[in-house]
Amino acid sequence: MDIITTAIVMSRRGEDEMVEDDYEILEPTSDFSSKGEEVFSQPSIVMMSFRKIVEAGSKEMKEGYWNTKFDRTGNAHRVWIPDSRKEFIECVNTVRMIMIRDIDEEAEKELKEIDKKLKKKYKKFCLLEENDWKNAPSVLKDRWKKEGSYLRKGFLSQSLPYAFEYIEEEVKAAREIVQAISKLLKRGYDYGEIGIAV
């Protein structure tokens, strides 16, 4: 027997008098049947993931921030708006993770080169931040500490400018990774069956 969600809405006239023609039967809105396009396969997962990349990459890349919204009664609520750059980077990392079995030698070489350049930039930003800490006056160091920034060798402090510059470099690297994976798909994998041009 099918599960049917039924809602009966009745209104009252007077105290106890029910009106029989004031009811409505609501059918369930979800369709529980399986659709042919929802097949679990590597090509469909890759296509879905690439859609996410396109969505995330086509938006303005902005840092996350707090926004204040008001409800209908006038109460203020702080809402976190996520960093669209980090969302894009994570979408690209997810596709890379999903496609690990499909990576050929050429793509592997290209991806390793991108990773190598990104690590080099990270080390460069760490050294620049370390030099800034060493050369900064004590008043500035005290202010940074009050803001929660401390020098940790090999790490970037999230509230100082080098961390923001590094995120921009990560976005550039993520775009290069998407290009490398797109070239991989073009080289002839079996994704044509779901509409990905090969």
Higher pLDDT, 112 or 8: 112
pLDDT tens-digit series, residues 138-183: 888 888 888 888 888 888 888 788 999 999 999 999 999 999 998 8
DSSP secondary structure letter of residue 195 = T
The pLDDT score that the predictor gives to residue 104 is 87
- Does the pLDDT of residue 14 top 60, yes or no? no
**Closest to 168 in 3D by CA, of 122, 108, 100:** 122
Q: With 70 as the cut, is the pLDDT of residue 127 above it?
A: yes
**Comparison of pLDDT for 100 and 15, the residue scoring more:** 100
Q: What is the pLDDT of residue 85?
A: 93
Residue whose C-alpha is closest to residue 166's, from 128, 111, 131: 128
Weakest mean pLDDT among 23-27, 142-146, 176-180, 184-188: 23-27
Q: What local confidence, expressed as pLDDT, does residue 2 receive?
A: 36
pLDDT of amino acid 7 = 35
Q: Which residue has the higher pLDDT, 187 or 32?
A: 187
d(CA 67, CA 80): 6
Residue 11 has pLDDT above 80, yes or no: no
Tokens 């050369």 identify what position?
135
**Which residues lie below 8 Å from residue 26, measured CB to CB, with a gap of 6+?**
5, 6, 7
Opening angle at CA 144, ends 125 and 60, nearest 5: 55
| pLDDT score recorded for residue 117 | 97
Q: Would you state the structure tokens that stand for residue 172, as one six-digit string?
A: 């550039």
List residues bridging with 13 in a β-sheet.
17
Q: Where are the domains of the chain?
A: 38-194
Say what the pLDDT of residue 36 is. Answer: 53
Q: What pTM was estimated for this model as a whole?
A: 0.69
Q: In 10 A of CB 173, how many CB atoms?
A: 19
The string of pLDDT tens digits covering residues 113-123 is: 999 999 999 99
Helices 42-57, 84-98: axis angle to 10 degrees equals 160
Instruction: Report the pLDDT value the prediction gives residue 118, as an integer from 0 to 100.
Output: 96
Tokens of 89: 């980077």
Please, which pLDDT band fits residue 188 given cuts at 50, 70 and 90?
A: low
In sequence order, which residues have a C-beta less than 8 Å from that of residue 78 and are 6 or more positions away? 66, 67, 68
Within a 13 Å sphere around the CA of 44, how many CA atoms are in the beta-carbon half?
6
